[in-house]
Chain A
Amino acid sequence: MMAEMMLRAKRIFSLVIKEMLTLFRDPKGRFVLISPPLVQLFLFAYAATLDVKNVSMAIYNEDRGFHSQQIINRIIGSSTFSHITFINKESSIKPMIDEQKVMLVLHFPADFSRKIEARAQTRVALLLDGRRSNAAQIVNGYLADIINEYDLKLQSESGNTQGILNIIDRNWFNQNLLYMWYTIPALVAILSMLISLVITSLSVARERELGTFEQLLVSPLSPYEILIGKTIPAIIIGMFEGGIIWAAGYFYFQVPFTGSFWLMLFVLFAFILSTVGIGLFISAVSKTQQQAILGAFIFMIPAISLSGYASPVENMPVWLQYATEMNPMKHMLISVKGLFLKDMSFGLIWQNTWPLFIIALITLPIAGWTFSKRKE
C-alpha cells in the first residue's frame, strides 16, 4: 500500500517536472507567461481608473458682478478642473458639449450677483454630457460642494448661522480614494487567474495537437494522476505570478497590505485551484491550442466583467447576482481587497473562500471525467 502510494507520487512528480520543462523551454510558452501579464499590470494600473481629474469645462458668465467671479476663482483653484474655457454666447454651449470639447458648462445668469446682494434666490445652470454620466455625476458633486461652501460663507458673514450643518466625510481603508488601491489588489486576482487558465488550457490541447496525449494515456498514469500532474504546475506558476504582482503592488505602486501574509497565500491557493479545473476542462474539449486560448479568453471576459470589478454586483439584475456566485473571481475580489486594505480576519476570509473550494470540487472532477472519456 505504502509502496504503491510512493510510486504514484513519483509518477505524478515526474509529470510535474516534465510539464514545467515544456512550459519554460517553449519560447511561445515563455512569452505568454511573461509579457502579457506585465503589459496588463501597467496598462490596468494606470488606465483602469474611474477617477475624475483633469476635467475640461466651460463657463458662460453673463454676470459682471463680484460673486460669480468669486465662485470661478474657487473652481480654478480646485485640482479637478484643468482646462477652463470661457465662452460669451449661449449658442457656443451646445457645440462645446456635442463635440466633447468639454464635459460640462456652468452658466451664471446676468442678475446673479445682483440677486445675491438683494438676498434673493438665484440659480446657476450646469449642463453636463450624459455620454459620460459617471464622471459627470461626480463632477456635479464637486461643483455643488464649491457653491454650497460659498453660499454658507455668505450666510455666516451676514450673521445667519441657521441651518449650518457639517457633513463629516470619512473614507475608511482608503482615505484619499486612490483608485490604484482598488485596481492593484484586483490585478493580483485577475493576472494570476489569467496565467493559471492559460497554462492549464494549453496543457492538454498542446499534447493533443502534437499527438503526445495518446502516449500519456497509454503510460501507467491514470487519468486522475494526469489531472493532478497538470494541476500542480499551474498552481505553482499561478501563485508565483500572483506573488509577483502582490509584491509589485506593495513595493512599486505603494498600496498598503494590512492583512496576514499566510492568509493571502491560502486565499491565492484556493482561488487558483478553483480556476485550474475550468482551464483543464477548456483544454479537454479543445482540439487545438488556438481553440484553447480562445476558450480561456471567452471565459475570462465575463469572469472579470461580472465579478464586481467593473461595477458592483448589487447593480446587476437579481438572477445574474445568483449566477455570479459560481464565479471564482467574485469571491476572490472581496478577500484580496480585504487583505490589502481592510485587515480582514480569518472568519470573514473564510466566508469568501469556501465557495472557491466548492467550485474546485465541482470543476476538477468534471475535467477529470472529460479526460477519461477522451481516453475511450
Chain B
Amino acid sequence: MNVSILTALIRKESLQIIRDPSAILIALVMPLILLFIFGYGVNLDSNRLRVGLVIEDDNIAVSGLVNGFLGSRFFAIDMAKDKRVFIKPLLATKLRGIVIIPQNFSANLAKQNNAAIQVITDGSEPNIAAFVYNYSRGVIDLWLSQQYQQQSGMALKNIELQPRYWYNPELKSRNFLVPGSIAIVMTLIGTLLTALVIAREWERGTMEAMLATPVTNLEIILGKLVPYFILGMGSMLVCLLVAIYLFHVPFRGSFLALGVCSAAFLIASLGQGLLISSVTGDQFVASQAAIMSAFLPAFMLSGFIFEISAMPWLLQKLTYLFIARYFVTELQTIFLVGNIWPLLIRSTLAILFIGSIFFLITAKKTRKRLE
C-alpha cells in the first residue's frame, strides 16, 4: 500500500464531500435536525396530561382527593360538575381523559358500600391512555391510604410495592432517546451517504476509471472509506458533546468503550453502504435501498423508540439482522449504565460479524463487475 497515493485519494474524497450539497445535507443538516427533534421534540414523559375532573359529590370529604389531582405533577386539571362539559374536548383531543367522582361517593365510601371512581381515557392514543389510568390510580391510592391512616391510625395496605427505576430515576425519555439518535446519525453517514456517493461514481463510470489505474483496490476502498469514517466519528463526537452539555444526559461509561463500539458500528455501516452502491450502481436506487435497509430499521427495529419485545415474533427475530439494534443497546448502556463488558463485547462481535459479511459480498460483487 502506498501512503502518498492513499493520502491523495483521501484528500480528493474530502474535497468532494465539502463541495457536494447532498453530503452537507446528510452529514450536517440531518444530524442537527435529529438531535433537535430527540432533544426537544419527542418526549415520552407525559408530565402535564390534560384531564377533566368531574365532581358530582359536593361532600367536603372529597376535597382531599381533588387536591391530590390538582397537586399531581402528572396532570393539568380542568374541573366541572357535569361530565357533559368534557365530552367535546375529549372528542377533539383537547383532553386525554375524564375522572369522575360520582354522587354519593363519600357516603358510599363511609358505608363501605361499593364506592367507585370512574376513569375514562381517550383510547385513540393507547400509550397516553395507559398513563392517564396509571397516574389516576396513583393519586387515588395515595389519598385513600392517607385518609385511612388518619381515621384508624393503621395502614390501609399490608403490601407496599416499592418501585425503583435504575439508571434513569427521573424517568426522562430524553436520556435514552438522545443516545439512541447517535445510531441514526451514524447510519445516515455510514450507509446512506456512502452508498449515494459511491453509486454516483459507478453511475458516471469514474469508479471503473479508478480501478483501471495502477492504484490497488484496497487503496481505492480505503481512500473512499477513511474520509467517511472520520466524518462519522466526528459527528458522533458532536452528538456526544451536545448530549452531555446541552441535554445533560448522564455519561457513566468510558470514552474508550464508546469510541471502540462506535468505530465497529461505523465500519460495518460503511460496509453496508459500499455493498448497496456496488449492487445497485445507481444513485436513486441506492438511496432508496439505504433508507429501507438501514435508516428505517435503525429507527423502527432497533429498540430506539419501540420496544422489540412487543413486536410480532418474526419481526423480533428479524431485528437481529440489523446492526443498529446492537448499537442502540450499546449506546443506551454506555451513557446510562456504564461499561457493561459482557453486553458490549457480545454486541460488538455481532456488529463486526455482520459487517464482515457486507465486505465479503462487496469484494465478490466488485470482482464480478469488472470481468
> Which residues of A line the B interface, CB within 8 A?
28, 31-32, 35-36, 39-40, 43-44, 46-56, 82, 95, 97-100, 103, 115-116, 119-138, 140-141, 143-145, 147-148, 150-151, 154-155, 161-175, 177-179, 181-182, 287-291, 293-295, 297-298, 301-302, 305-306, 310-312, 314-317, 320, 334, 337-338, 340-342, 344, 348, 351
Flag if B168 contacts A165 (CB, 8 Å).
Answer: no
Q: Which of chain A's residues have a CB closer than 8 A to the CB of B131? A: 137-138
- Nearest-Cβ distance from residue B42 to partner chain A, whole angstroms: 5
The 3 residue pairs across chains A and B that have the minimum distance between CB atoms: A130-B168, A174-B123, A171-B123
Q: How large is the interface on B (under 10, 10 to 19, 20 to 34, 35 or more residues)?
A: 35 or more
Q: Looking at the complex, which one of B50, B121, B307 makes contact with A49 (CB distance below 8 Å)?
A: B307
Bound Cα distance from A16 to B38, whole angstroms: 40
- Nearest-Cβ distance from residue A102 to partner chain B, whole angstroms: 11
Bound Cα distance from A342 to B112, whole angstroms: 37
Bound Cα distance from A53 to B307, whole angstroms: 9
The answer to the question of B80 belonging to the interface, with a C-beta cut-off of 8 Å to chain A, is: no
Bound Cα distance from A53 to B126, whole angstroms: 14
Bound Cα distance from A298 to B196, whole angstroms: 16
Flag if A172 contacts B120 (CB, 8 Å).
Answer: yes
Flag if B33 contacts A290 (CB, 8 Å).
Answer: no
Q: Looking at the complex, which one of B33, B168, B306 makes contact with A302 (CB distance below 8 Å)?
A: B33
When C-beta atoms are compared, the residue in chain B nearest to A103 turns out to be B309
Since A54-B310, A341-B123 are in contact, a sample of 12 more A-B pairs with Cβ atoms closer than 8 Å, ordered by chain A residue number, is A35-B288, A48-B306, A50-B310, A123-B161, A141-B137, A163-B145, A177-B126, A297-B291, A298-B33, A301-B30, A305-B41, A338-B92
Bound Cα distance from A306 to B105, whole angstroms: 41
The answer to the question of B34 belonging to the interface, with a C-beta cut-off of 8 Å to chain A, is: yes
When C-beta atoms are compared, the residue in chain B nearest to A52 turns out to be B310
Q: Which of chain A's residues have a CB closer than 8 A to the CB of B43? A: 311, 315-316
Bound Cα distance from A333 to B246, whole angstroms: 31
Bound Cα distance from A175 to B120, whole angstroms: 10
Q: Looking at the complex, which one of B129, B144, B161, B332 makes contact with A124 (CB distance below 8 Å)?
A: B161
Residue among A31, A136, A171, A316 with the highest chain B CB neighbour number at 10 A? A171
> Which residues of B line the A interface, CB within 8 A?
21-22, 25-26, 29-30, 33-34, 36-38, 40-50, 88, 90-93, 96, 109, 112, 114-131, 133-134, 136-137, 140-141, 144-145, 147-148, 152, 155-169, 171-173, 175-176, 196, 283-285, 287-288, 291-292, 296, 300-301, 305-307, 309-312, 315, 329, 332-333, 336-337, 340, 342-343
- Nearest-Cβ distance from residue A306 to partner chain B, whole angstroms: 5
- Nearest-Cβ distance from residue B171 to partner chain A, whole angstroms: 5
Knowing A52-B310, A138-B134, A301-B33 touch, does A151 contact B158 (C-beta < 8 A)? yes
Q: Which of chain B's residues have a CB closer than 8 A to the CB of A295? A: 25
Flag if B128 contacts A312 (CB, 8 Å).
Answer: yes
Q: Looking at the complex, which one of B44, B91, B117, B133 makes contact with A165 (CB distance below 8 Å)?
A: B117
Q: Looking at the complex, which one of B33, B109, B300, B343 makes contact with A44 (CB distance below 8 Å)?
A: B300
Q: Looking at the complex, which one of A165, A172, A175 makes contact with B144 (CB distance below 8 Å)?
A: A165
When C-beta atoms are compared, the residue in chain A nearest to B344 turns out to be A99
